[in-house]
């Protein structure tokens, strides 16, 4: 998953910064006119949004899931809110409530992030990851893949930073279906590493 400094590097890219600022303004105008949140912190929220969608695939987010999502977003954010309410937590609550409205705009922004930091050859040129038949083989393909590509996949699809990226996982059927749809929305479907990564998930 991304670190605070890596998110800062992303939002420093002119195209990402401009679109983040535009989307933040639209979000605040619709959901909370007086919400004060930096571009960095708002991008942190957007980066966590795929995890929100996966969590909502079953219809709702419980308290434990929301706390986990907040923890992830705060890890990416600038922080420094010891004596005041963290705007990322407030924005997360608003986003969850209005997810249906913001899902597509946030996904479009994630697509922009991907296109800005990776070119098409980096997505498709990940060797024969789809042919990996063992944990060790898949791990080698992950090590050979672009660092940013692995960072993006782990941020979007792995629930806990302590989880091993190459581990096989069991998730609910609705969650797996959403993950496949998200791969389509972000133009990740069909790329070797993503398909091999997704194949490591099974439906409960």
> Is the per-residue pLDDT at 130 higher than 60?
no
Residue range 165-192: average pLDDT? 93
Most confident of 18-22, 82-86, 194-198: 18-22
At 97, the pLDDT band (50, 70, 90 cuts) reads very high
At 127, the pLDDT band (50, 70, 90 cuts) reads low
Q: What percentage of the chain exceeds 90 in pLDDT?
A: 55
At 70, the pLDDT band (50, 70, 90 cuts) reads confident
Structure tokens given for 131: 């042919």
> Is the per-residue pLDDT at 83 higher than 50?
no
């Amino acid at each position: 998953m991304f670190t605070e400094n890596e998110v800062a590097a992303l939002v420093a890219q002119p195209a990402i910064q401009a679109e983040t600022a535009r989307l933040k303004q639209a979000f605040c105008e619709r959901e909370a006119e007086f919400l004060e949140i930096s571009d960095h912190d708002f991008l942190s929220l957007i980066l966590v949004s795929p995890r929100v969608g996966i969590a909502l695939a079953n219809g709702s987010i419980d308290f434990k899931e929301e706390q986990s999502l907040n923890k992830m977003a705060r890890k990416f954010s600038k922080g420094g809110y010891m004596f005041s309410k963290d705007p990322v937590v407030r924005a997360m609550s608003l986003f969850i409530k209005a997810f249906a409205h913001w899902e597509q705009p946030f996904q479009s922004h994630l697509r922009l992030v991907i296109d800005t930091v990776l070119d098409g050859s980096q997505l498709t040129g990940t060797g024969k990851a789809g042919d990996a038949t063992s944990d060790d083989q898949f791990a080698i393909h992950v090590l050979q893949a672009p660092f940013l590509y692995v960072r993006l996949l782990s941020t979007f699809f792995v629930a806990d930073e302590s989880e091993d990226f190459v581990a096989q996982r069991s998730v609910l059927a609705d969650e797996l279906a959403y993950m496949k749809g998200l791969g389509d929305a972000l133009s990740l479907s069909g790329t070797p590493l993503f398909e091999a990564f997704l194949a490591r998930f099974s439906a409960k």
